[in-house]
Amino acid sequence: MAAIPPVCDFGWQAPSFNLPGVDGNTWQLADVRGERGTLVMFICNHCPYVQAILPRLISTAAELQALGLGVVAISSNDVAAYPEDSFEEMQALSARMRFPFAYLYDEDQSVARAWGAVCTPDFFGFNAAGELQYRGRFDASRKEAAPEGTPRDLFEAMRQITSTGQGPREQIASMGCSIKWKEA
């Protein structure tokens, strides 16, 4: 079932995290911050919404890093219910697709809860001061990739943030698979 996150809470300061990465390192928010801002993406391996954009997401992340943005991805799904989202599968996907960003595992789901993550993909774009400026979609893609030439909402918003410190006031929410929460 598709889930849609809330609109951007401009200025929100993200709580830090301390998560293992598929590269064997432990990462904190301060480790991934870029000189001109930071993009934190909640994704997972199995979600068709993520799969539809993944090749373009990887190239977009590299473009954003070249603009001085830090980029990181976090997977928070319940792997007992979705084994394709396991840490080992995350390592395999990251290696196979050559992720240019750290891919982190939120096993206890505390980061997703603290951040209010709703779906995969769910994008949090921050300016250099660490203030939330974007909580919108990648582009018009859904479970299939949007046609060539579709406006690049995430890229354009993050590029604007790197040059002005402010995100666009009009944003279209992301849509994706709901985070797969563990049973209480």
- The whole-number pLDDT of residue 122 equals 97
- The whole-number pLDDT of residue 162 equals 97
Distances (CA, A) of 5 to 137, 151, 165, 172: 10, 20, 22, 10
- The whole-number pLDDT of residue 109 equals 98
Q: Looking at the domain assignment, is residue 6 inside a domain? A: yes
Q: Looking at the domain assignment, is residue 101 inside a domain? A: yes
Quote the domain boundaries for residue 128. 2-169
Q: Looking at the domain assignment, is residue 182 inside a domain? A: no
Q: Which stretches of the chain score pLDDT less than 50?
A: none
Structure tokens at 30: 């301060």
Distance, CA of 1 to CA of 120 (rounded, Å): 11
| 60 C-beta neighbours (distance < 10 Å), count | 19
Q: Looking at the domain assignment, is residue 7 inside a domain? A: yes
Q: Looking at the domain assignment, is residue 181 inside a domain? A: no
Torsions phi, psi for 180 (to 5 deg): -90, 95
Cis peptide bond N-terminal to 121, omega within 30: yes
- The whole-number pLDDT of residue 7 equals 83
98: domain CATH number is 3.40.30.10
User: Angle 60-56-37 (CA atoms, 0-180°, nearest 5)?
Assistant: 20
Q: Looking at the domain assignment, is residue 184 inside a domain? A: no
- The whole-number pLDDT of residue 1 equals 62
Percent of the chain with pLDDT strictly greater than 90: 91
| Tens of pLDDT, residues 91-111 | 999 999 999 999 999 999 999
Q: Looking at the domain assignment, is residue 178 inside a domain? A: no
Sign of the four-CA dihedral 26, 32, 38, 43: negative
* 176 sits in which H/E element: strand 176-178
Distance, CA of 179 to CA of 74 (rounded, Å): 11
Which residues on neighbouring strands pair with residue 73, listed in sequence order?
41, 103
Residues 6+ apart with CB under 8 A from 50: 43, 44, 57, 120, 121, 176, 177
Based on the structure, what is the number of domains in the chain?
1
In contact, 58 and 97? CB cutoff 8 Å: yes
Q: Looking at the domain assignment, is residue 105 inside a domain? A: yes
